[in-house]
Amino acid sequence: MSTQTAPASKISSHQPVPGPTDTVAFGHVRVSRLMVGHNPVCGNSHASDAMNAEMSAYFTAENVVAMYRHAESLGIKTVVVRGDYTRLGYLELYRRAGGTMNVICQTASEMHDIFRNIRVCAAAGADAIYHHGTQTDRFWMEGKIDKTADYLKCMRDCGVAVGLCSHKPEIIDYAQQKQWDVDFLMCCFYDPGKGRIRQSAIVNRAASADYGGEIYDDADRDAMCRTIAVASKPVLAFKILAATRKCATQEDVRAAYRFAYEHIRPTDAVAVGFFPKRLDQIALGIQYARECATV
């Protein structure tokens, strides 16, 4: 694990900041500073095949709707949903049950027509849409990054708030240099996929994971935080818990929340993938995030 010092984006511990259920603006949409992420709902733990299977078994349509309703009852106002038909179906059931959280959709890169996928997400009630970070990174590595801008234009035409997601600070920097028309930037604290892109990379084993060749190095987190500190748009930070690698104890979880909220700005937000099978992770997340706003 990296031992480098905290990035310069850290705010003063004496400076009051909005709490996790307060809202900030992503374009014309108001979103809560803590929101429900989507990877666990998709059975995607980024941790192990066993956890993937456990998440897939747990997240029936009934349990997904119950989790969304519970989050809303605790004051969370925004949910992130993957824009595939299964997850959009869960969203419809949540709406039928009276759910009112606003919705940020991720494009589903397996779809044969992403422009149509964007329009479907908008028609399903998305308030904001962002370009899938893994696909953004793939375009970058293939030298096709400017293709991403076409999808962003489609989102703008649909009238939703427009977002760009990436795991790489250099892509976020590039998009800002090019002045791409976005309302928010979705920034991953880690770049797990670099293990597949640079198989020869030498990384501290304490900062790595064998699952899928993914790498979770705090140096990547710190680099992204420096990018967040000077971003020209609001940021939605994610993977603040390093896909369970910061969850050995509740004190570790608390420390990860504190790091995240101290290294984003008051106009930024955080998305966390919750798996509340055994523990009310949503209530705990709100508690830990709220502590950062009150000390």
For residue 43, give Cα distances in angstroms to 84, 180, 237: 13, 32, 20
Which positions ≥6 away from 138 have C-beta within 8 Å?
none
3-state secondary structure of 265: coil
- H or E stretch including 36? strand 34-36
Q: What is the pLDDT of residues 6-24, one digit of tens each?
A: 454 454 445 567 899 999 9
Angle (CA) 158-73-42 rounded to 5° is 55
Tell me the pairing of strands 102-106 and 269-272. unpaired
Q: Does residue 47 contact residue 243 with C-beta atoms inside 8 Å?
A: yes
Structural domain boundaries in the chain: 28-294
Kindly tell me the burial class for residue 146, based on how many C-beta atoms sit within 10 Å of its own C-beta (0-12, 13-18, 19 or more). exposed
| pLDDT band, very low/low/confident/very high, at 196 (cuts 50, 70, 90) | low
Q: What is the pLDDT of residues 36-82, one digit of tens each?
A: 999 999 999 898 999 999 999 999 999 999 999 999 999 999 999 99
Q: Does residue 133 contact residue 165 with C-beta atoms inside 8 Å?
A: yes
Q: What is the pLDDT of residues 117-128, one digit of tens each?
A: 999 999 999 999
Residue 210 predicted with pLDDT over 60: no
Kindly tell me the burial class for residue 176, based on how many C-beta atoms sit within 10 Å of its own C-beta (0-12, 13-18, 19 or more). middle
Fold type of domain 28-294: TIM Barrel (3.20.20)
Q: Which tokens in the block code for residue 15? A: 């400076």
How far is Cα 17 from Cα 139, in angstroms, rounded to an integer? Answer: 36
Tell me the pairing of strands 23-26 and 29-32. antiparallel
Task: Report which of 78, 163, 166, 165 is spatially closest to residue 125, judged by C-alpha positions.
Answer: 78
